[in-house]
Structure 1
Amino acid sequence: VWVFCGDGEMDEVESLGAIGLAARENLDNLIFVINCNLQRLDGPVRGNGKIIQELEGEFRGAGWNVVKLIWGKGWDALLAADKDGALRKIMMDCNDGDYQAMKANDGAYVRKNFFGRDPRTLKMVEHLSDDEVWNLQRGGHDSQKVYAAFHAAQNHVAQPTVLLVKTVKGFGMGKIGEGKNNVHQTKKLTDEDIKAFRDRFNIPIPDSQLAEIPFYKPADDTPEMKYLHERRKALGGYLPHRRVKADESFTVPALEVFKSVMEPTAEGREISTTQAYVRFLTQLLRDQALGPRVVPILVDEARTFGMEGLFRQIGIYNPAGQNYTPVDKDQVMYYREDKAGQILQEGINEAG
């Protein structure tokens, strides 16, 4: 299960509200990919801070496997030559607001305001032109490193994984929008901007056709198109297929099973809707065919609403079982966790 998010939207409560659940359940088939371009619509996500470091702390503290993809391969040689850690120090000291500015300007700006913070790092790039300095990409735009990160995430076991991928908003738009706050409101590129975009991504469209902004599709016999067709075939086709009949079927309980809930109560005696629901659920769970498929999700209020009997009846799911003696073990309806439990008891959180 792949989940794609942006660094700005991680401030929404529901984005992080239940990440501890995934770690507790050892959901190693769950992978979050967070696009960290450091920008919201109006400005930086953490101008004075570092959103990647912040998110790393959140997820690692919750028990996730964290993979950070920050620098493209162009930086590898520089980092290998950084024997005294001067470059690494600048990388850590530079806040996200400044990182945004680096990509909103040009190579000369990066040379002066990033590498120029220390004479040692300035010397490291003296052999590079301003264009070469500008082309030192962030990790999220290096396809080989993206592949390696995805591969590592997919093969990690016993933990969910989050990929914190550093990118540039508006990548490829050049001076008109790359790394700039107005990129969301940019409606049209000039001819020069379109030409720069074409050159940057090696799109085979001649200058004579650029004004028309034609749609480009590689030929069917090119490696990229062959790959796409192979993947679609492996995934089962080009369009989703809606099945009208499931592979499994079961018998729905007869209405007579719920007779005690459907019949009116005795005169002068009333029951709450909660009581009626609990009775209905209890009957449903007793059904041999459907009962094992019912998963009640409780929100730390089972005792309040008279549902604690379910603890003993079907148990609370926990992949590790119950490695402690519950304080109410001597009671009939004690708090029972079990590897085969059906109840999801996650407390008061977004999952609940």
Structure 2
Amino acid sequence: MIAPPSSPAIVKRAADSASAPAPSSVDSGVLREISRRVLWLSAAIVDAANRGRPNHSGVKVGGHQASSASMVDIMVALWFHSLRGEDRVSVKPHSSPVLHAINYLLGDLDESYLTTLRAKGGLQSYPSRLKDPDTVDFSTGSVGIGATAALWAAIAHRYTRSHFADTPVAGRFVSLLGDAELDEGAIWEAVADPQVASLGELLWVVDLNRQSLDRVVPDIQIERLQGMFAAAGWQVVTLKWGRFVCDLFERPGGRELRSRLEEMPNEEYQRMLRVPGEEVADRILSGQGSVELRDLVTSLTTVELGRAVRDLGGHDLPLLVDTFDGANDHRPTVVFAYTIKGRGLATEGHPNNHSALLTEPQMRQLAEACGIDTTDPWATFPAESDAGRLCTRRAEALARPATTPTDPVSVPTSLGHPHRKPVSTQAALGRLLADVVRDAPELAARLVTCSPDVASSTNLGGWINKTGVWSVKERHDWFADDRERVLRWSESESGQHIELGIAEVNLVGLLGELGTTWSRWGQRLIPVATIYDPFVSRALEPWSYGIYAGGQSILVGTPSGVTLAPEGGAHQSITTPSIGLEQPGCIAWEPAFAQDLEWTFLHAASQVGVPGGTSAYFRLSTRPLDPELANTPQDPALLERRRRQATAGGYRLSNHPAAEDDVTLVGVGVLMPEVVEAARVLAEHGVTAGVVCLTSPDLVFRSFQQRGRRETTGNPSGDVVEDLFPAHAAAPLVTVQDGHPHTLSFLAGVRGDRIRCLGVTDFGQSSDLDDAYALHGIDVTSITDAALTLAGR
């Protein structure tokens, strides 16, 4: 059942000998009293959601009483002894009722919320730092991702402290996670990042209850997990047994008892928890064992033997307190705490208890065991009691000062540089960032870039040369005297670029936490991450999680589309334009020209790291475009008008009024040269084609959706859809994008126009650019043909 560790890097607590006495400052009796109350409250919160309020839909409300029960003692040891106000904790998603129960006892949650789990305006199904009414440090729910958020928050805090001296001090960053979460790749990508081994403020506690959602885990392979953490430089602590059973292990027959318990399969151990107490001895002996083992087992009462087999390290409060207080602060620590899923409930140890709900009689049984009067289920401790006084002291100790926001940062609307030479939007971004250091130093000081080992190939070299690379600790630059080096890779705590390994999940995990520093510590950052656009899909869930949790940032996908023709289908993105349009809390941009990128990027930066702000996604390309195609006005007033149009979502390139269009060509991003050329060819055939350049189909869609609504949705683009497609000037539409064509299909509904959507619907292949565009039907010939057909020619 429980395999002994073998690595010398692994610390064993209460496993090979009787545990040390509890620290004198810990009153284990009071902690146990609080633990019983938290167990009851967490179960009652779920019970009230399912049996205590009307449910007319017939859909199960649900909850996780068993998963909460296994975490109760771990969380009580933390909140009622070990945590400090400056600590931040990520709570296992299925243990949210325990967090709310604890916050209630600490006076951080009003009683009225205890019956509102999973109800509108009530307690969220999983911890949410933006939507729950009490203190929640990290949103969780995406298994594995919420646990790693605390790790990235630690790096974000270190970065912020190294650049802004008035950043508040932080304490430990704690993650409470279930053992099944260790199956998630996001966990190991984060653990293996080289910088993590230096983060002594990290503490992870694994609730090792040996059950997943559907089953008892047949082989937890604890040694393998321990070894993987140890190999990454972590201190590994394993809490197998509590003090009571450890005392038995020291008695004659005790070593054999321990071997029997540790060698039995997980399933056998779980089954033993479910049988009547008088059967436990027979199951342990199972027709075998020495005389000493039999004497030891039979000398124990049924109650004592039942207590012994349940006496796991994750339920020994003094042992937990001692472990948390003694964690190494020079490297990250992971604690494997053996627990029982459903500990103390009627469903304890049942293989199908994950979502099981206690019946009414079982709830009454639990109330009796916890000393609760069911006529007053939400009772707190009397203020003058030992438990009440501890709750008061801990509430005071965990109180946090209000966050003082950063002084406003001046973000210019334009840098004022002319764009005269053909350039790609990817290269234009690199130049923009490098220019900001000189032209807008206040903005530059708040910018931080990161990439998954693609900084140079996404044109961040100029920015890095001017600002340096940030590292947890100073590193010697052995190439500083190499005159042939173009990219100066100087790593220090003063740098402003953070380089990660080739792990896109890590990238957006860090991006999200860099984007929360304004709300966590009052220091505004504007984080910008570059990623190869085809890999946005790989990073989608953790990126979405970061936005959901309140992180505001800018994600740059580049290069993109089949325009990256020679790289072949493996590096050609298709669905990302649609992903950007559909992502909540984010505005998607795909500017065609360098000037448009400058305007839209600065506009997006102004919206990051502020109350009510938003994230942004830029889809860029490596194909150089001639700025002359944009026909950018020279007159200052007209230039400002164009800037406003670009930041609203798009503008018309045509010189004639929209009412004269026989057909309207709508282009996005890198395909604007083909759209403009197709309009010229159509003119030779007597067809007047209007040309619309969209910088953000996302904003145009929002404008379309807002039409006719009585309430506004805060759409920053205003009525751009009317400006681009006026109701009085109906004309067939041909839309063109280096991405899936359905992204722009909504434009048919603006005026009821006939439409033909051109784009990429199949995997690409290696080719030159002309062949790639012809293959997917987004070349000049295809655009012209679609327009002539719609125009009846």
Report the TM-score, using the length of structure 1 for normalisation.
0.81
Cross-structure match for 1:232: 395
SS of 2:354 mapped into structure 1: helix
Cross-structure match for 2:298: 126
- Preserved contact between residue 277 and residue 303 of structure 2 (Cα < 8 Å): yes
Cross-structure match for 2:377: 214
CA distance in 2, matches of 1:228, 1:112: 43
How far does residue 195 in structure 1 lie from its aligned partner after superposition?
4.9
Specify whether residues 130 and 285 from structure 1 end up closer, same or farther in structure 2 by C-alpha distance, changes over 3 A only. farther
How far does residue 252 in structure 1 lie from its aligned partner after superposition?
1.6
Match for 2:500 among 339, 346, 350?
346
Alignment of 1:1-352 (within 5 A): 1-21=173-193, 24=196, 26-44=198-216, 46-47=217-218, 49-81=219-251, 85-114=255-284, 116=286, 118-119=289-290, 120-136=292-308, 137-153=311-327, 156-174=328-346, 177-191=347-361, 193-201=362-370, 203-205=371-373, 210=374, 214-236=377-399, 243=403, 245-246=404-405, 248-249=406-407, 251-256=409-414, 258-260=415-417, 263=418, 265-266=419-420, 269-286=421-438, 287-323=440-476, 325-326=478-479, 329-330=482-483, 331-349=485-503, 350-352=505-507
Name the stretch that deviates more: 328-337 or 8-17.
328-337
How far does residue 213 in structure 1 lie from its aligned partner after superposition?
7.7
CA distance in 2, matches of 1:71, 1:84: 13
Give per-residue Cα distances to partners, 1:201-256, cap 9 Å, x unaligned.
3x153xxxx5x68333222222212222222223337xx95x5x52x426424345
Specify whether residues 285 and 85 from structure 1 end up closer, same or farther in structure 2 by C-alpha distance, changes over 3 A only. farther
Amino acid of the structure 1 residue aligned with 2:468: G
How far does residue 160 in structure 1 lie from its aligned partner after superposition?
1.0
Give per-residue Cα distances to partners, 1:294-344, cap 9 Å, x unaligned.
221111111212223344332222334335735994413243333433221
How far does residue 273 in structure 1 lie from its aligned partner after superposition?
2.4
Amino acid of the structure 1 residue aligned with 2:183: D
CA distance in 1, matches of 2:236, 2:285: 28
Specify whether residues 51 and 228 from structure 1 end up closer, same or farther in structure 2 by C-alpha distance, changes over 3 A only. farther
CA distance in 2, matches of 1:165, 1:132: 22
Percent identical pairs in the alignment equals: 24
How far does residue 128 in structure 1 lie from its aligned partner after superposition?
0.5
- Preserved contact between residue 464 and residue 488 of structure 2 (Cα < 8 Å): yes
CA distance in 2, matches of 1:223, 1:213: 20
Give per-residue Cα distances to partners, 1:17-47, cap 9 Å, x unaligned.
2112376451111111211111112102x31
CA distance in 1, matches of 2:177, 2:481: 42
Name the stretch that deviates more: 325-334 or 6-15.
325-334
Specify whether residues 343 and 64 from structure 1 end up closer, same or farther in structure 2 by C-alpha distance, changes over 3 A only. same
CA distance in 1, matches of 2:272, 2:246: 19
SS of 2:205 mapped into structure 1: strand
Specify whether residues 341 and 88 from structure 1 end up closer, same or farther in structure 2 by C-alpha distance, changes over 3 A only. farther
CA distance in 1, matches of 2:497, 2:462: 12
Amino acid of the structure 1 residue aligned with 2:353: V
Amino acid of the structure 2 residue aligned with 1:227: L
Amino acid of the structure 1 residue aligned with 2:366: F
SS of 1:340 mapped into structure 2: coil
- Preserved contact between residue 299 and residue 347 of structure 1 (Cα < 8 Å): yes
- Preserved contact between residue 170 and residue 179 of structure 1 (Cα < 8 Å): yes
Give per-residue Cα distances to partners, 1:170-215, cap 9 Å, x unaligned.
11113xx110023234333353x345424543x153xxxx5x6833
Cross-structure match for 2:83: none
- Preserved contact between residue 38 and residue 100 of structure 1 (Cα < 8 Å): no
- Preserved contact between residue 250 and residue 290 of structure 1 (Cα < 8 Å): no
Specify whether residues 98 and 281 from structure 1 end up closer, same or farther in structure 2 by C-alpha distance, changes over 3 A only. farther
Report the TM-score, using the length of structure 2 for normalisation.
0.38
Cross-structure match for 2:748: none
Specify whether residues 214 and 200 from structure 1 end up closer, same or farther in structure 2 by C-alpha distance, changes over 3 A only. closer
How far does residue 134 in structure 1 lie from its aligned partner after superposition?
0.9
5+ long unaligned stretches in structure 1: none
CA distance in 2, matches of 1:124, 1:230: 43
- Preserved contact between residue 23 and residue 160 of structure 1 (Cα < 8 Å): no
Amino acid of the structure 2 residue aligned with 1:39: Q
CA distance in 2, matches of 1:348, 1:106: 53
Specify whether residues 333 and 171 from structure 1 end up closer, same or farther in structure 2 by C-alpha distance, changes over 3 A only. same
CA distance in 2, matches of 1:23, 1:99: 39
SS of 1:184 mapped into structure 2: coil
CA distance in 1, matches of 2:458, 2:188: 28
Question: CA RMSD, aligned part only?
Answer: 3.0
SS of 2:458 mapped into structure 1: coil
Amino acid of the structure 1 residue aligned with 2:181: E
Give per-residue Cα distances to partners, 1:262-311, cap 9 Å, x unaligned.
x5x33xx5432222222222233444444344221111111212223344
- Preserved contact between residue 450 and residue 499 of structure 2 (Cα < 8 Å): yes
Amino acid of the structure 1 residue aligned with 2:185: V
Name the stretch that deviates more: 15-24 or 293-302.
15-24
Amino acid of the structure 2 residue aligned with 1:234: A
CA distance in 1, matches of 2:329, 2:235: 9
Cross-structure match for 2:575: none
How far does residue 12 in structure 1 lie from its aligned partner after superposition?
1.8
SS of 1:146 mapped into structure 2: helix
Amino acid of the structure 1 residue aligned with 2:318: Q
CA distance in 1, matches of 2:276, 2:237: 29
Specify whether residues 213 and 255 from structure 1 end up closer, same or farther in structure 2 by C-alpha distance, changes over 3 A only. closer
How far does residue 94 in structure 1 lie from its aligned partner after superposition?
2.8
Give per-residue Cα distances to partners, 1:155-179, cap 9 Å, x unaligned.
x2211111211111111113xx110
Specify whether residues 140 and 222 from structure 1 end up closer, same or farther in structure 2 by C-alpha distance, changes over 3 A only. same
CA distance in 2, matches of 1:11, 1:82: 39
CA distance in 2, matches of 1:342, 1:270: 29
Give per-residue Cα distances to partners, 1:29-77, cap 9 Å, x unaligned.
1111211111112102x31x23543432221121111121221211121
- Preserved contact between residue 468 and residue 488 of structure 2 (Cα < 8 Å): no
SS of 2:457 mapped into structure 1: coil
- Preserved contact between residue 50 and residue 95 of structure 1 (Cα < 8 Å): no
How many residues end up aligned between the 2 structures? 328
- Preserved contact between residue 297 and residue 305 of structure 2 (Cα < 8 Å): yes
Specify whether residues 204 and 332 from structure 1 end up closer, same or farther in structure 2 by C-alpha distance, changes over 3 A only. closer
